[in-house]
Structure 1
């Protein structure tokens, strides 16, 4: 039978034994930075598509602060929090209210809602594959 104390002891030994150093962190760090840069580029592309000229220094500050509030995950997907903070900050940095709302909504549709079907389809595919594998492993061999 599995024991919580044994499991925690094993986890502590494993964590203490792994000393990854700097090199293994470079790829995840590069991917995270790429993700943020591409997401900011998505915001810029949405502005370009709407014909909105962005005040870039203020927009980058607004984007960064919005990412920080979104990281709190106070609601699922930070729904409402990202939209409100990004719109308010874009207005604060010089966009008209209508432009800020339109830009924020288009940005969220492209960067969040358009990706949801991909995530759900991936989850469904992995769940089905896992169940098939479990079913295959449980199947008793015929004699």
Structure 2
């Protein structure tokens, strides 16, 4: 009799589980089809700008083109090294090749998918957990890398504007600087005294459990474990300085790629600071578009910036198209290949929290 009673619930659970699998499978397929359809629509919207630009592209000089490609690859390596330094500051040593593969794959998700930053963040978190990072260290590293990257672009913009005798967008830069300092200071305070968050997390968790109809302190042990893990996420002066330098190099090498692409199609010179201003304007414009890779938006901002520096229209378009072929074509294409490699070698479910 006991055997019959035990087998009943098990059978029910197995039937429920088997019933859910087809639903989840169809849901995943529907999401994939939906994303592909939305991507196609966005690509169609951005295609006129891309096709008109391609018509202006003439054969680039091979030497300058190769140098531009090397500069872009170096920019990606700098970003990977920045994240690797942040992980190293938490006591986790990751092989550079694995961090590079993650950087390329996450970049491709960020640039080409609708809501790309969310998918990129999820991939970063999953892979850092597989590298051996605790949930707290992975979250801390992702947050701090975003802060460093944004702050580095703001610094480059301010320096370029001042050197080019322009007027930087002071309100935006001051707001960015204050926000970055406040968030960094807050993260440091939390890392040094993680228990201070417990007083905030406990009431929120109790409200959530009330909605879920669970015990008031359900999950509190996981919150305590997460806060304990934060103690290991210390950023030393050495690792912090190195990470900041790599964040600056990431943007500067990316801008160098644009400069080399310009020299690949013309002998005309442009002020380095004027080119940096054009580059920063393009990157800033890319944050306010849903078109994949900022097609049409980033390109127009870059072209206008080069025009302001004295470059002719057809030459500016040719240089920007060449830059985008490297930045959006080669790098993003390589990132998707690496994403498929990562997906094939490893399961999609991240490991459980310790």
Residues 17 and 85 of structure 1: CA distance in aligned 2, closer, same or farther (over 3 Å): same
Contact 2:264–2:319 (8 Å) recurs in 1: no
Which deviations, in whole Å up to 9, do the C-alpha atoms of 1:85-129 show, x marking residues without a partner? 101111122211111111111111112211122101110111000
Q: What's the TM-score, normalizing by structure 2?
A: 0.33
Evaluate the alpha carbon distance shift between residue 128 and residue 69 of structure 1 in structure 2; reply closer, same or farther with a 3 A threshold: same
Q: How many pairs were matched up?
A: 130
Give the Cα–Cα distance (whole angstroms) in 1 for the partners of residues 329 and 225 of structure 2: 40
| Alpha-carbon spacing, 1:12–1:79, altered in 2? closer, same or farther (3 Å) | farther
Give 2:343's aligned residue.
Answer: 127
Partners in 1 of 2:326 and 2:251 — Cα distance?
A: 15
| Mapped contact 2:255–2:279 kept (Cα < 8 A) | yes
Moved runs in structure 1, 4+ residues, more than 3 A?
3-19
- Structure 1 Cα separation of the partners of residues 219 and 285 of structure 2: 35
Aligned to 1:51: 266
Residue aligning to 2:120: none
Q: Is the 8 A contact 2:282 2:302 kept in 1?
A: yes
Are 2:265 and 1:22 equivalent residues in the alignment? no
Which ranges in structure 2 are unaligned for 5 or more consecutive residues?
1-217, 350-354
Report matched runs for 1:1-143 at 5 Å. 7-8=222-223, 10-15=225-230, 18-56=233-271, 57-70=273-286, 72=287, 74-75=289-290, 76-131=292-347
Which one has more relative contact order, counting CA pairs under 8 Å at least 6 apart? 2
Structure with higher Rg: it is 2
d(CA) in 2 for partners of 1:87 and 1:8?
49
